[in-house]
């Protein structure tokens, strides 16, 4: 999972049928230490009801599909997605820079 | 998933059997990278699209035989704000 901030919402009329009625949010990654996923943004489905400007925890990869379906209370797991908002963050505590181990925490994107 | 813009189509006269009849689009992602994605929604050059990645996504949308892991899952009308 990664931490990010909701920066927008995607509107789409033509989409895969199972995405009908699902909220799609644009997420700007915050403190993210998976270089293979490094990018400026990602789009995630949102079963928890996050709003623009909120900090969120996003599940990335195939488990997001099952987790999102479960959060919606559905047995349906055929969503063609690989990112889902799993939590809205109240607060993040980070150890001081020197105590994070040999590999520094990688930060990506807007750090404000 | 990633937002991107369709910049063209990709053709291959000789291709893997699983790609028979597949419409392939070249999509430039917001980060500047490019991916070739399968499209079943009818997107065209200039359209903004949402591309999902992964073999399970591929299995659920275009079938297990396609030798490709990027799929157009939505044609974007807009992004707010």
Instruction: Please report, for chain B, the start and end positions of each structural domain, with discontinuous segments joined by +.
Output: 2-75
Low-confidence spans in chain A with pLDDT less than 70:
31-39, 76, 95-112
For residue B14, what are the contacts with CB-CB under 8 A and spacing of at least 6? none
Is residue A101 a part of any domain in this protein? no
The answer to whether A52 and A65 are in contact (CB under 8 A) is no
For residue A14, what are the contacts with CB-CB under 8 A and spacing of at least 6? B41, B42, B74, B75
Q: How far apart are CA B4 and CA B75, in angstroms?
A: 10
Lowest-pLDDT choice from A93-97, B30-34, B42-46, B75-79: A93-97
pTM here is 0.84
Which residues of A are less than 8 Å from B29 in CB distance? 39
| Structural domain for A56, as ranges | 2-89
Neighbours of A77 (CB within 10 A): 14
Residue B33's SS3 state is coil
Which residues of B are less than 8 Å from A82 in CB distance? 1, 52-54, 56-57
Pick the CATH number of B2-75 from 2.30.29.30, 2.40.50.220, 3.40.47.10, 3.90.1150.180: 2.40.50.220
pLDDT at B11: 84
Q: Is B5 on the interface with A (CB under 8 A)?
A: no
From B1, B77, B79, residue closest to A82, measured CB to CB: B1
Q: How far apart are CA A86 and CA A104, in angstroms?
A: 25
């Amino acid at each position: 999972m990664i931490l990010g901030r909701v920066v927008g919402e995607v509107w789409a009329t033509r989409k895969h049928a199972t995405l009908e009625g699902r909220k799609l949010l644009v997420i700007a990654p915050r403190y993210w230490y998976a270089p293979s996923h490094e990018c400026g943004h990602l789009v995630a489905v949102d079963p928890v009801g996050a709003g623009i400007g909120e900090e969120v925890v996003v599940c990335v990869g195939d488990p997001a599909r099952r987790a999102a379906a479960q959060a919606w209370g559905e047995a349906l797991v055929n969503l063609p997605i690989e990112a889902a908002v799993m939590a809205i963050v109240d607060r993040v505590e980070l150890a001081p820079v020197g105590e994070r181990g040999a590999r520094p925490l990688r930060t990506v994107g807007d750090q404000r | 998933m990633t937002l991107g813009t369709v910049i063209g189509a990709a053709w291959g006269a000789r291709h893997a059997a699983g790609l028979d009849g597949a419409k392939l689009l070249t999509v430039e992602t917001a980060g500047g990278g490019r991916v070739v994605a399968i499209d079943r929604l009818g997107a065209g050059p200039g359209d903004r699209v949402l591309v999902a990645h992964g073999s399970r996504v591929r299995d659920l949308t275009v079938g297990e035989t396609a030798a490709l892991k990027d799929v157009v899952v939505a044609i974007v009308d807009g992004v707010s704000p």
